[in-house]
Each structure stands twice: as C-alpha cells, then as structure tokens.
Amino acid sequence: MANRVENQLKFQSLMEAHQGLIFRVTTTYARKVEDQQDLVQEIKLNLWKAFPKYNPEQSFSTWAYKVSINTAISWFRTHSRKGNTVELPENVPAPESYSDGSAQVLRQLIDNLDPLNRAILSLSLEDLSQSQIAEIIGTTPGNIATRISRIKAQLRHQFEAQEKNSWN
C-alpha cells in the first residue's frame, strides 16, 4: 500500500515537472482546445499505465516523450480517419494575423507531414539531440539525421512552390 502511494506521488511530481513536454506534444497533434484536453488526458493515462515499466536509470523526459508521441500519433490517426477538421487553439493568434502569411503556409505544410515526420521535426525543434530523438522514435541517430534533412528539404521545396504560386 505504501509503495503504491509512493509511486502515485512520484508520478504526480514527474507530471508536474514535465507538463510542458505534454503540452508541446499535444499542440503538435491537436488544434482544437477540446481535442488538446482529450489528448492530454489520454497521454497522462498511458503514462500512468506504463509507469511501472519506467526504468529510473533512464531519462524520464525521453521516456515520457516516447509514450506521449506514440499516444499522440495513435490519437491523430484515429482522429483524422473520423474526418475531423484542424483548428488552431483559441489562445494562439491566427496565422492570417501575421503580416506576410508565410507563417500560415509553413504551419499548413508542417500539419501535412505524416505523424512520424511531424514528431521528428517537433523533437528537433525542441533542441533534442539526434540520439535522444532516435531513442524516442526507436531508430538510429543516422536515420534521424537523414529524416531531418529530408523533412527540411521537403518543407523548403513546398514552401518555395507555395511562394512562387502566390506571385503568379
């Protein structure tokens, strides 16, 4: 009984310390506030279910990212199959409010990435090392380096094509 209470307190403490991580993953995959709230709850539930398997010798943030991203990808696939639309959360300024619209174009291009590439890009933007990203995703650092390079090239090419089309 005491061990269970101890685990609950440890888990709550870790959740409080890493709530930003969960928020970043959630906002990468869900735009509607209600969807974000649902996804946060699902991530926390999956983290709690997996917590007994967590190895304290491992970085908690890396482990939490792995569980959170896997949960978010599954949620996203299920959610997108249902035909739900993507909306920005109310607390984020609409991309149309930016002066040149390039932020809107870039956000749409990122939203169109497949869930795994979106996760890799998101983790890269979090300044995680390629080794950390590889551990989270379950691949090699070399594979991550290649994927990041390809994602950037793809986004650059699509962005330039959008910009070119907007001038015509």
Residue 78 has pLDDT above 90, yes or no: no
**Which residue would you say has higher pLDDT here, 126 or 145?**
145
Mean pLDDT of all residues in 54-76 = 91
The pLDDT value given to residue 167: 66
45-49, 67-71, 79-83, 117-121: least confident range: 79-83
The pLDDT value given to residue 65: 92
Residue 99 has pLDDT above 50, yes or no: no
Q: What residue ranges do the domains of the chain occupy? A: 1-92, 93-168
Look up the CATH number of domain 1-92: 1.10.1740.10
The pLDDT value given to residue 3: 80
Residue 8 has pLDDT above 60, yes or no: yes
pTM score, two decimals? 0.68
* CA quadruple 57, 61, 67, 72: dihedral, nearest 10: -170
What whole-number distance in Å separates Cα of residue 55 and Cα of residue 18?
17
- Extract the tokens encoding 149: 């390079």
CATH topology of domain 93-168: Arc Repressor Mutant, subunit A (1.10.10)
Residue 2 has pLDDT above 90, yes or no: no
